[in-house]
Structure 1
Amino acid sequence: MTFAAGAHADEYADVDRLFSAGQWAEAVQKADQFLATHPRDARMRFLKGLAVAEQGRSVEATAIFVKLTEDFPELPEPYNNLAVLYSKQGQYDQARRALESAIRTNPSYATAYENLGDVYAKLASQAYSKALQVDGNNTAKVGPKLAMIRDLFTPKASALAVASTKPVTTGKPSAPPAPAPSLTPSPTPAPAPAPATVAKAAPTPPAARPAPAAPPAPVAPASGNAEQEVQAAVQAWASAWSRKDVEAYIGAYTPSFTGGKSRKTWEAERRARIEGKRSISVALSAVETRVQGDKAVVQFRQQYNADTLKVSSRKTLELVKVSGRWLIQKESTGS
């Protein structure tokens, strides 16, 4: 996934500057002017959500990030910042679900894992407190556990990370980076923020959803690192299929992938087929990988075993790099 950074870099920079200066009302106004003509621009919507949150308008900010997760479910950052807002309101179960969605979208998203740990600690604190309320005689057993959990948040409050320059009562945030070609933190260091109450920053505002990519042209072998990344993505896809993890399996494809059907129909069919099996095993062999830029072709022999069915076939996957992740945009099966 790439930003429309070249065309709109000045607009992003202006909102970024206002945000960093604490001029959140001005940042929102500038973002609204841009969104009036580019209503689906994910990065600007993300920046607006951050500024609105800093103004204390948590209901409106929550609505912005919820809509982003609906329009761009492949982006982990909106889920993370949504979790921050839920945590601010003490809605830790909802925060947990949002962070789990962020991790399903990007299993390498370290910030979401850290935030999820903080949420689990808060949930544990609530559970131990409830245990003491129900049984006051259990202080000797539950009290030390509750004290240990509270020590995690005192005196330095643990925080779920949001992309922001000032604390959002639930966050220990960092500044949003300048526009970049992918969802990675800006190399420019941000000022150190003050501690707050529950969170750590979504590193980068997201980009707009890409148009479906054309099938990749023949490609030449690429560097070992790129090949390893592509092969790891394909193995993760096969592993998710084998363990019947439908969300991870579907998440291995680009949002525009339809399998020749509507997206909704394809997802429903794959879910029914995978969940309908007692066991599935997908093993790959003779893997050949070619990478050129943000496109890759992987060919292999697939051994598929499900209940009593056993099928061995050649398969080709065509992948594109989206927001730092390799996703399947086309698959075909041969003899």
Structure 2
Amino acid sequence: MLMKDSKNTDFGYSSLTVRNKLFSFRIPMRILAVSLILVILGTFAATVAITLGDFPISLGQVVQAIVGVGEEFHLLIVREWRLPVASAAVVFGALLGLGGAIFQSLTRNPLGSPDIIGFDAGSYTAVVLLILVFGNMQYWSIAGVSILGGIITAFVVYLLSWRKGVQGFRLIVVGIGVSAMLTSLNSYIITRADVDDAMVVGIWAAGSITRVTWASLIPSVAIAVIIFILAVLLARSLQHMEMGDDTALTHGFRVGPARLALIVVGVSTTALVTAAAGPIGFVALAAPQLARRLTSSPGVSLWPSAAMGAALLSIAHLLSLVIAAFYRPIPVGLITVSIGGCYMIWLLVREARRHYGRIG
């Protein structure tokens, strides 16, 4: 049963309350509205991106081709070549935003992102070893070792951070150190590899969704659906953990198993994207905080973060195509890193001012 709650929520806004014999949850209206707007924005940007390329197509022709009508040449370009790439921008962006939200909630720190903590570096290292050492470039092999490498790195960081519990700041600092070590290892392996193989890894490492096809996107979407379902099931656990370990323990909540499950789900989001498109940085870092400001919520919310991630990556993909029309093709990963680097500088300056302001 779906009903509107006339009372205000903790966020100060009306909400939708969903009640069923099996479950009951409340969705603040502002979070719902912002999420829908961001999804629409991301979908629109992805659709506009389909019009750009070596063979420009009007927006009307794109819509016709998507629904299955129009010239056969347009159907080929849109449905077989460009639609999977545009869809990947939305799906992968949502995964990155979701992963960033999970880790920023776990660490209770805006810097708690998989690409900052080092989990992406673990996925990257696993793929580099698979391609350069074992010569395997099959999608399922890359996807498998990418997720495995990210999870192994997460557990290493988790264990090194353990001191009668895991604190968010310690997890971030240890993760940055592990990431630096893995980056050095990756550089060494690449310099020792054959030039052609090193070029393949280098192009993949730039983070590009333009090589995504239906053959790689469909299994990625299937895995993404499983990840989102697990995130829904673990959302309540995340809310408990945001209150702090001590508070959660006093309520009889088992913090350890829940944290490990959330880490696995969070790592899987970025590892899946890394396997299909290469490492795409800073979307997971920026999306949760930008969504938090739009929703005016006291904490990071999963679904606005996922919607913001979809919008950010779709817009970055569109921007890369616009730049390619006047200059040369640029991988979307370089676009997100350039913009995300500026965002990270601003975030670090803001956190430093807040910290020294409290001291003063």
TM-score of the superposition, structure 2-length normalised?
Answer: 0.22
The structure with more radius of gyration? 1
TM-score of the superposition, structure 1-length normalised?
Answer: 0.23
Greater helix proportion: 2
Greater strand proportion: 1
